[in-house]
Amino acid sequence: MQSRAVVMVIAVMVSGLTTLALAGHGPWAGSTILTVFASHGLNQGDLLVLAAWLVSMACCVTLWRRLG
């Protein structure tokens, strides 16, 4: 498997896991910051998930550029 393909797989997997984490409604979610739908929105607990996703994507971009 090519190295760039591995980077793409990691990016897709992390994005998928982030989507699942944001879709959940745990008791630790915190208060709603932004309402998207009547029963869904961006909670305080989602900010850590989004921050981890951003760091992961920045790492993927860095690896992608180094492999180029």
Q: Report the DSSP beta bridge partners of residue 35.
A: 41
Residue 1: predicted pLDDT: 61
Token pair for residue 33?
């910051």
List, in order, residues 6 or more apart from 7 with CB less than 8 Å away: 60, 63, 64, 67
Q: Which 8-state DSSP code applies to residue 4?
A: H
H or E element in which residue 12 lies:
helix 3-23
Report mean pLDDT in 10-residue bins for the chain, 68 residues. 92 95 81 84 90 97 93
Sign of CA dihedral 19, 36, 28, 60: positive
> Which pLDDT value is given to residue 32?
85
Q: Record the tokens describing residue 39, joined without a space.
A: 């029963």
